């Protein structure tokens, strides 16, 4: 069966998910997470990719990235894998591929889903029952986006910056969004989106993608407005 094509538009965020083979662990101790993040930082710098949100779970990663380079995100994932897979294999005596397969990704409409996707990513450890608050989890961008901690990996997206010109106000507003869980329909749309490669956003978003690419990409998935607290 031929591989389903990935869709790309310059500077449109991509939600990228990569899992361990058979959903096995890909991180075993703290040094593994930091090694991965170090290689990710090298890769986004090398290929001119911007990382807006991330979380490293024990057996998978979520990354929200944008770039003007058509192959930039694929190059980032290849670069990280080129270093991280041998690192794990050598350190733990494994062999072969670490990943489930190709990474999954889909386009996210900034105006309606950027903040929802960021919250989805950074709340992952809470939904998994690993921590009570996103701030309790070390390996995510929540500390940068909500708490203002320095993170060389994270570049704020323009839609995130619209929350306020004042960084403290912006962080407070963003942090307050986490007081309520994401609505079930938005959660499902985000999950279905990366699993199927389907763009998530409005019908107009889909039409824009189809006009640029010159082919059908499937119906965009819709949900509630970006600032909904219900």
User: What local confidence, expressed as pLDDT, does residue 221 receive?
Assistant: 52
Question: What's the pTM value of the predicted model, to 2 decimals?
Answer: 0.91
CATH of the domain at 36: 3.30.70.1290
* pLDDT tens readout for residues 134-155: 999 999 999 999 999 999 999 9
Residue with tokens 């959903």: 23
4, β-bridge pairs? none
Q: How far is CA 114 from CA 45, 53, 96, 156, 159, in A?
A: 22, 10, 35, 11, 7
Residue 36 lies in a domain: yes
Residue 228 lies in a domain: no
User: What local confidence, expressed as pLDDT, does residue 6 receive?
Assistant: 74
User: What local confidence, expressed as pLDDT, does residue 1 receive?
Assistant: 44
Q: Which residues of the chain have pLDDT under 70?
A: 1-5, 218-230
Residue 98 lies in a domain: yes
Residue 88 lies in a domain: yes
Computed over every residue of the chain, the mean pLDDT equals 91
Beta strand pairing call for 104-107 and 49-56: unpaired
Residue 4 lies in a domain: no
Residue 2 lies in a domain: no
CB atoms within 10 A of CB 95: 7
User: What local confidence, expressed as pLDDT, does residue 211 receive?
Assistant: 85
**Helices assigned H by DSSP within 2-109:** 30-46, 72-92
Domain hosting residue 48, numbered range: 14-213
Q: What radius of gyration do the chain's Cα atoms show?
A: 17
Please say whether the dihedral angle defined by the alpha carbons of residues 148, 200, 225 and 184, taken in this order, is positive or negative: negative
Residue 143 lies in a domain: yes
What's the order of all strands across the beta sheet hosting 49-56? 49-56, 60-67, 14-19, 104-107
User: What local confidence, expressed as pLDDT, does residue 5 receive?
Assistant: 64
Residue 219 lies in a domain: no
**Total domains, the chain:** 1
Q: Which of 188, 162, 187 is nearest to 174 (CA)?
A: 162
């Amino acid at each position: 069966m031929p591989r389903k094509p990935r869709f790309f538009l310059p500077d449109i965020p991509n939600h990228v998910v990569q899992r361990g083979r058979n959903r096995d662990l890909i991180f075993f101790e703290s040094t593994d997470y930091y090694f991965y993040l170090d290689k990710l930082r090298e890769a986004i710098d090398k290929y001119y990719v911007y990382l807006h949100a991330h979380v490293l779970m024990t057996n998978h990663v979520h990354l929200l990235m944008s770039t003007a380079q058509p192959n930039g995100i694929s190059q980032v994932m290849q670069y990280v894998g080129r270093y991280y897979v041998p690192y794990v294999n050598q350190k733990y005596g494994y062999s072969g591929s670490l990943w489930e397969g190709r990474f999954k990704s889909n386009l996210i409409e900034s105006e309606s889903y950027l903040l929802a996707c960021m919250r989805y990513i950074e709340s992952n450890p809470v939904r998994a029952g690993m921590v009570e608050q996103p701030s309790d989890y070390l390996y995510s961008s929540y500390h940068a986006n909500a708490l203002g901690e320095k993170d060389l990996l994270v570049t704020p997206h323009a839609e995130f910056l619209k929350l306020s010109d004042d960084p403290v106000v912006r962080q407070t507003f963003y942090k307050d969004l986490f007081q309520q869980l994401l609505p079930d329909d938005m959660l499902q749309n985000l999950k279905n989106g990366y699993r199927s490669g389907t763009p998530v956003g409005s019908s107009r978003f889909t039409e824009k993608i189809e006009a640029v690419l010159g082919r059908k990409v499937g119906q965009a998935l819709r949900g509630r407005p970006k600032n909904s607290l219900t």
